[in-house]
Structure 1
Amino acid sequence: MNDSTDIPAPGTPAEPTPNLDGNAAVARAAEQAKNTAHRNIPGLGFEEFPLEDDTANLRHGPSLHDGLLALLPLVGVWSGTGQANDVDGEWAFGQQLIFSHDGENYLRVESRTWRIDTDGNPTGADQREVGFWRISPKDEIEVTLTNSRGLVEILYGEPLSERAWQLESASTIATAAGPERHGPGKRLYGLMPNNNLGWVDERVVDGALVPYMSAELTRVAG
């Protein structure tokens, strides 16, 4: 598998990125870990709770389930900015994205976004999304997501490399109060040469896939 993938920067078309030298990737990750390795999401701390707390740091908490090794690079807390475009127009957003686990054979994912103005200042909350990632012994990825806009989605996909994962919608359902127009789509997640996490979400509009949301996120914990 290659060590890099083609993830466009937020708001720009996809362009090939150069192959990332393995030693350089390790060195960059080690440097970044100086600021992130000690950080984690907080546990609830209820003594009577019989299960392990979620962790977004592979150095702490329960061991990652062996079945999740192909998704291991995703685990952590990521934060950054991106661009969105739909029938309501275009806007910039900030995002916090958490991939965590509790030792069982799935990852929990939680995304929170907020609108930002042209100066990069937050102007209010936007979407929230929660769900679970699973992967089979044959590297078949299954993702279930629920979005605060009134959307429920199932996606399937596969790793493109050790640093990239592609998903496609299998079922997209909007509630009665949800968006009237939100077609099926395709998502691509990948670690960029700078070890940031980039992702792109494209949606079908009038029969063609068009950019919907994209972001570039820096690891802040894990």
Structure 2
Amino acid sequence: MAFTIPEGLHPDLNPLAWMIGTWRGKGRGEYPTIETFEYAHEVVFNHDGRPFMNYYSRSWIIDKDGEIIRPAASEAGFWRVKENNVLEVVISHNTGISEGWVGQFDGPKIQLVMDQGYSAPSAKIVTAGVRLYGLVAGELFFAYDMAAEGQELQAHIWSTLERQSE
């Protein structure tokens, strides 16, 4: 599928224009406090002409045949491009967690580090995180390493997503 710069995109977002759209695929997750799982994943990046991207991600736990078992995580946020290829990202999760992320982009490779987090009284405590987004062979690769519930920073989830036709 040919890629074009989205109409009305704020010039600050040009370096991230490749992300705009809907991406879907599958991934895998693991963590010492949960069972290993597979999931279907959808990520949407869009814009309204202002200097930030809107972000929405949702997922579903799937069985070995790829059939949906139940809804899983969802998160929403905003991505802001700053000088020197810096990104500032805020994300809120359906589980009662909100996070601030800071990172760098280098072409189609983005690495974010959790700057600050907030957990609602009933939510798990996430103490650190690293996110990687990248364009690999035309697909969006995503990985999230997490430190939570007394565990060290380690791999948690990763997925590969294909751009969808709009």
Judge same fold: TM > 0.5, yes or no.
yes
Q: Distance in 1 between matches of 2:27 and 2:134?
A: 15
1:69 aligns to what? 14
Q: CA deviation at 1:199?
A: 0.9
TM-score (norm 1): 0.69
Counterparts in 2 of 1:15-164, with a 5 A limit?
Answer: 32-33=1-2, 58-59=5-6, 62-86=7-31, 87-159=33-105, 161-164=106-109
TM-score (norm 2): 0.92
User: Of the two structures, which has the highest relative contact order with CA contacts closer than 8 Å and spacing of 6 or more?
Assistant: 1
1:216 aligns to what? 160
Give the letter for the 2:123 counterpart.
G
RMSD: 1.7
SS in 2 for 1:102: coil
Please identify runs of 4+ aligned residues in structure 1 that moved more than 6 A: none
Q: Distance in 2 between matches of 1:94 and 1:120?
A: 8
Q: Computing the radius of gyration over CA atoms, which structure comes out larger, 1 or 2?
A: 1
Q: Distance in 1 between matches of 2:40 and 2:49?
A: 29
Q: CA deviation at 1:139?
A: 1.7
Q: Distance in 2 between matches of 1:115 and 1:78?
A: 17
Q: Answer yes or no: is the 8 Å Cα contact 1:67–1:137 preserved in 2.
A: no
Q: Answer yes or no: is the 8 Å Cα contact 2:10–2:51 preserved in 1.
A: yes
Q: CA deviation at 1:184?
A: 1.1
What count of residue pairs does the alignment treat as equivalent?
A: 164
Q: Answer yes or no: is the 8 Å Cα contact 1:164–1:189 preserved in 2.
A: yes
Q: CA deviation at 1:207?
A: 6.6
Q: CA deviation at 1:73?
A: 1.1
Change (3 A) 1:115 1:165: same
Q: CA deviation at 1:137?
A: 2.6
The equivalent position to 2:140 in structure 1, one of 197, 206, 209, is 197
The equivalent position to 2:115 in structure 1, one of 149, 170, 186, is 170
Q: Answer yes or no: is the 8 Å Cα contact 1:78–1:221 preserved in 2.
A: no
C-alpha deviations, 1:47-86, integer Å up to 9, x for none?
Answer: xxxxxxxxxx844xx5110011121111110000001113
Q: Answer yes or no: is the 8 Å Cα contact 2:5–2:18 preserved in 1.
A: no
Unaligned runs of 5+ in 1: 1-31, 38-56
Q: Distance in 2 between matches of 1:121 and 1:135?
A: 37
Unaligned runs of 5+ in 2: none
